Amino acid sequence: MPIDSYLEALTYFYSYARYDPGDVTRWSLDRLQELLARLGEPHKTFPSLLIAGTKGKGSTAAICESILREAGYNTGLYTSPHLHSFRERIRLGGRLITEDNLVAIANKLKPYFESTSGLTAFELITTVAFVAFADAQVDAAVLEVGLGGRLDATNAVDPAVGVITSISYDHTRILGETLSLIAREKAGIIRPGALVISAPQFDEAMQMIEKVCQERQAKLLVVDRDWKWESDGFSLEGQSFSVCGEPYRLPLIGEHQAVNAVTALAAIAGLCRQTDLHVSAEAMSAGVANVHWLGRMEILNRQPYLVIDSAMNGYSSEKLVQTLNQYFAGSEATLIFGASYDHPVSDMLKVLLPYAHKMLVTASSHHRSEKPENLAGLAAELGYEVTPVPDVSTALEMALVDNDRNDLICATGSLFVVADVREAWLRRNNRTLPPIDPQIL
């Protein structure tokens, strides 16, 4: 049966999510490579940047794509998960893939998918992205690794440059209980003789990355060591920094985003060395200045401040609190917190609870959301009282009651909570909504 609509395409894609995504025994690059071979190897028609890591992958990928687009190149960007719409995952020339394009690709690939035994949803979606990029004849693609690196579907490409952003504890059940084991999985994107760009890392993670690079005779460049940078000031509108005396302006806030931007600059410089692409200093500067990446330290309102950020583990929660203290010193903080049940919730709460003047715990509309009463129980075990709220919209309304003009409301814990708060705020204020998918699962 043909797929006749965007909703039918989404339903078909998600029908392949029949297995636990954390069951690595189901992952198979060999299976994916065989599928891609039958499709004419679309993933080999463009040079690519492949970006692994725990935090900062999406921001770094968005900055890389923005720079390449400012340089005049036809770009592909593949990221996950999405904020409001599946179409955000696959972008062509900076724009979300169209519904009609997705339906056409789904119909073209459906026979190939159905003749591939054991295919996972992420392998299917990654194949859709590769075909979309090949069909659009992109000059370069920027690919964010979904989970890990070594066995991730995106690792089917042979990247011109491998990039590893900040590594911390997450998905330990799948990737390993130590930073060394997690870093080894992330370092699975490193090819023999390749160029590798790494953000600053904890010593344990860096030692593993250096070991893998040495074993594979890959050249490693590290931000803060080989790519020195300095902060030149910050405000709620963004921040300024310089690299080797060259000034940059970044609209994303938080020092960690400056690190992501420098990582992206190093990655693009490396891509130009490894390929025939050329990016001018002006395009580098414009790409950093014009990047858009929603839901990451995004300020939705002032008086009171309403900030959303998708901190999803203990380390990213530490970075969030550090940034909030830096930008909103003196403000009493009400946190709206919700998390997926498979994330390190206790690690996040240990960081966020001491910072919060008040915390409302809630659940997003996503099926992986932890129940508010369970979050409240975890908080109680840590010695804190929080208020469980059944849904995000109600939590937002409660947070807005009796807030001083200088107070801070911050929604965090998962990208799904961030998306729900963002949509609720836009609806509340009669603002234009982005494309939003219906709930399939």
Q: What is the CATH number of the domain that holds 423?
A: 3.90.190.20
Model pLDDT for residues 238-275, shown as the tens digit of each residue = 999 999 899 999 999 999 999 999 999 999 999 999 99
Check whether residue 274 and residue 379 sit in a common domain: no
- Rounded Cα gap, residues 186 and 423, in angstroms: 33
Whether 226 is in a domain gets the answer yes
Whether 131 is in a domain gets the answer yes
CATH number of residue 143's parent domain: 3.40.1190.10
Residue 176 confidence (pLDDT) above 70: no
Written as six digits, the tokens of 166 are: 């900040």
Check whether residue 177 and residue 304 sit in a common domain: no
Q: Collapsing DSSP states into helix, strand and coil, what is residue 417?
A: helix
Check whether residue 309 and residue 244 sit in a common domain: no
Domain count of the fold of the chain: 2
Q: What is the DSSP string of 76-113?
A: EEE-SS-SS-GGGGEEETTEEPPHHHHHHHHHHHHHHH
Model pLDDT for residues 290-326, shown as the tens digit of each residue = 999 999 999 999 989 999 998 888 989 999 999 999 9
pLDDT greater at residue 149 or residue 266: 266
- Min mean pLDDT across 120-134, 149-163, 400-414 is at 400-414
User: Are the C-beta atoms of 97 and 132 separated by less than 8 Å?
Assistant: yes
At residue 252, the pLDDT reads 97
304: cis peptide before it, omega within 30°?
Answer: yes
Check whether residue 312 and residue 269 sit in a common domain: no
Sign for the pseudo-dihedral over CA of 368, 374, 376, 377:
negative
Check whether residue 223 and residue 349 sit in a common domain: no
Whether 77 is in a domain gets the answer yes
Whether 434 is in a domain gets the answer no
- Rounded Cα gap, residues 401 and 409, in angstroms: 11
At residue 386, the pLDDT reads 98
Mean pLDDT of 26-39: 91
Check whether residue 174 and residue 215 sit in a common domain: yes
Q: Which of 248, 266, 289 is the last residue of a domain?
A: 289
At residue 439, the pLDDT reads 74
Model pLDDT for residues 342-360, shown as the tens digit of each residue = 888 999 999 999 999 999 9
Check whether residue 282 and residue 302 sit in a common domain: no
At residue 25, the pLDDT reads 61
Of 346, 338, 324, nearest in space to 371 by CA: 338
Check whether residue 282 and residue 306 sit in a common domain: no
Whether 435 is in a domain gets the answer no
> What element of type H or E holds 210?
helix 203-215
- The burial class, CB within 10 Å (0-12 / 13-18 / 19+), for 37 is exposed
- Rounded Cα gap, residues 128 and 139, in angstroms: 17
Mean pLDDT of 59-71: 98
Pairing mode, strands 90-92 and 238-243: unpaired
- Rounded Cα gap, residues 11 and 413, in angstroms: 27
Check whether residue 259 and residue 354 sit in a common domain: no
Check whether residue 245 and residue 143 sit in a common domain: yes
Q: Which of 235, 263, 289 is the last residue of a domain?
A: 289
At residue 111, the pLDDT reads 98
Name the DSSP letter for residue 152.
-
Residue 170 confidence (pLDDT) above 80: no
Whether 213 is in a domain gets the answer yes
Domain hosting residue 214, numbered range: 6-289
Check whether residue 129 and residue 200 sit in a common domain: yes
Mean pLDDT of 49-77: 97
Whether 439 is in a domain gets the answer no
Q: Which of 234, 257, 289 is the last residue of a domain?
A: 289
Whether 202 is in a domain gets the answer yes
At residue 171, the pLDDT reads 57
Name the DSSP letter for residue 116.
S
Residue 228 confidence (pLDDT) above 90: yes
Check whether residue 213 and residue 230 sit in a common domain: yes
